Each structure stands twice: as C-alpha cells, then as structure tokens.
Amino acid sequence: MSAIEIVTILLTCFTISWLSVPFVKKMAVQIKAVDYPDTKRKFHKGVIPRLGGLSIFLAFLIGYVLFGSNFEGLDHVLVGAFIIILIGMYDDITPIKPMVKFGGQFLAALVVLYSGQFIISEFVLIPGLTIEFPTWFAPIFTLLWIVGITNAVNLIDGLDGLASGISAITLTTLAFLAVFDGSNFAATVTLILLGATLGFMVFNFPPASIFMGDTGSNFLGFMIAVLSILGYKQAAFASFLMPIVMLGVPILDTFIAIIRRRLRGQSIGEPDREHLHHKLLDSTASSTKTLLIIYAISALFSATAVVYGIRKTWGLTLLAILLICVEIFIEKYELIGPKYKPVLSLVAFLKRKK
C-alpha cells in the first residue's frame, strides 16, 4: 500500500465524518438523544448531544464502499456492526438495561462468528510457544474477546475525547502493523475506521460539543475487537498478545474495575467514580492534562506491541517494565483500593531496613 493510498483513505473518511457531525448533532437534539450533567460522574456543564458515533459509522460505511468493497469477507462484520449501532442508538435515546445491551453485543458477535473467518484458534505468545484451543473452546474465546473489548472501550468513555483518542491510537497501531506486513485488507479497513474516528475527534476533544455515546463507543470497541482478530490472522509475524497489549489501557481499567467492585461486594456492572480517568482528573484538576496522560500511557502500550511484533524478546522485556510501572501507578492512585499497595509497601519496608 502506497503513501498516497494511505493519505487518500484517511483524508476522505476524515472529511466525511467531520462534515456529518453538525447534521448528527441537530438530529440528536431533535430526538432528545442528549446528555445532562450531574455532580457525580459527569464533567460537562451544559446539555451535550449524543449519537456522535453515528458520524463515525456513516463515514466508515461510505469509506468501505469507496475503498474496501473489492475485498470479501466483511459482510457478517457489517451486519454485526449494524446491530451494535441500533442497540447503541436506542440506548442513547432511552437508556436500556445492561442485560439487553449485553444481549445485543452477543448477537452481533455471534453473527461475526457465523462467518467462520474470525475465530481465534490459538494463542501465540512467542515463536515456539503456542497454545492451541480445543475446537469447542475457540469460538467461546472469540465471542468473549469481541464482547469484552466492546465493553472495555465503552467503559472508558467517561471523559471528552478519551474513548475516541484511545481508539485512534489503537487503530493507528493496527494500521501500521498491517501496512508493515503487507496485509492490504486489514490495513484498508483499519485506515477507513481511523479516518472516520479522527474526523469526529475534532468535535469531541475538550471541551466536547458532541459525545459519541454508546452508539460510538460500542461500535469502535466492536470493530477494534474484530479488526484485531483480522490483523492477527493475516499478519505473519503476529501473536495474539499484540492486540491485548495495544488495548492495555481499556483492558486494565475494566479488569481493575471488576476486582474493585467484587472486593466491595458490588455488582461488576455497577458504575462508580474510581476509573483511571476519574482518579487522574481529581489529581490534575484538568481534563486536557488527564487526557494527555492517558494518551501517553496508551501510546506506550501500542509502541510496546509494535516492538514485540518486530522483536519478540525486546517486546516482552519492554512489556515487563511497563507492567511494573503500571502496577506502581495503580497503587499510587489507589485504583483497586487504599489498602492495595504491595509494591509500594515493599519499597517502604526496604527503605526502613536501610
């Protein structure tokens, strides 16, 4: 894929998304798909339209017709994405119960699985170390991956530009790896979605004039989950550890939230104000600073995935260092709880011994 082709895809999809946002904003206001501020978990002061994800979806569809329709194999993904969009739009207009939302996500994932082309059959950690899944387990793992990543991106959508920015960083990494490996199909589809996301981000960066809503966060999560499988299956050097590392921020934030809520006896679906972005915002008192810090963390995970794709040993070394730093970060900001500080406690103990 040439540089001209890459720029053409990005600019075209960026422009379509950017031009469609004002129309989506008007529609969201007319059908009352808007977000009201509160004092607990939301940070905006005025009434903000939702449904911004519809702009991303429309730009993606048009971009796919223009640049990706000559490829085969994405029909089931588009059907699954349409289900995700319908569920998200309905939720943005009239909030629905979590189980209904989960049901829609599982249905969309099942449609993708039905194609038979997006099944994770093995887990390659490093060359020579491959875990092959039993035939019955592979579709279950794939289903859980798609639904899990969809919800991980959805859960981190708690600050202007956060979910869209992390998605853009992840998509940039996926596109780079696909182009590097010569996987034109994966590269083209990923670039289409990246351009659509960047066009929306113009309106979503703090202070946001529109939110992507569940329509956008679920769609981006769903597509990133599927594209990571596509890139993994097409790229010769890939390991499934790479998409996990690339999505380190939303995966860790979701995993930590589950642990935190279970330790407190809460439902894992119960919202709270102790996600990564909440803690950083309390510390920095600045949405922009918080956003840039999380972008930097996400970029470090993505860079580690790229290094791992090129040199496995170096990548694993960087990943180990990064995870130690993340553990210290988790303890410092008490993301699991004020009493969870094993590494910091050990460091304090060793200092006292000296």
pLDDT at 215: 93
Per-residue confidence band for 269, with pLDDT thresholds at 50, 70 and 90:
low
Q: Report the mean per-residue pLDDT for the chain.
A: 84
> 9: which residues sit within 8 A by CB, 6+ positions away?
63, 67, 188, 191, 192, 195
Highest mean pLDDT among 44-53, 283-292, 297-306: 297-306
> 308: which residues sit within 8 A by CB, 6+ positions away?
239, 241, 242, 245, 314, 315, 316, 318, 319
103-107, 185-189, 221-225, range with the lowest pLDDT? 185-189
Looking at the predicted structure, is the pLDDT value of residue 15 above 90? yes
Give the amino acid at 82: F
Characterize the bridge pairing of strands 48-49 and 34-35: antiparallel
Note the pLDDT tens digit of each residue in 193-250: 999 999 999 999 888 899 998 999 999 999 999 988 876 655 544 556 777 888 888 8
Note the pLDDT tens digit of each residue in 25-45: 999 999 988 887 764 555 556
**Nearest in space to 92 (alpha carbons), one of 224, 277, 219:** 219
The angle formed by the CA atoms of residues 198, 204 and 207, to the nearest 5 degrees, is: 140
> 341: which residues sit within 8 A by CB, 6+ positions away?
331, 334
3-state SS class at 254:
helix
Instruction: Answer with the residue of higher pLDDT: 118 or 211.
Output: 211
Looking at the predicted structure, is the pLDDT value of residue 56 above 60? yes
- Delimit the domains of the chain by residue range: 3-353
3-state SS class at 207:
coil
Q: Residue 47 half-sphere exposure, CB side, CA atoms within 13 Å?
A: 8
Note the pLDDT tens digit of each residue in 71-94: 666 788 999 999 999 999 999 998
Give the amino acid at 257: A
Length of the chain: 354
18-27, 266-275, 306-315, range with the lowest pLDDT? 266-275
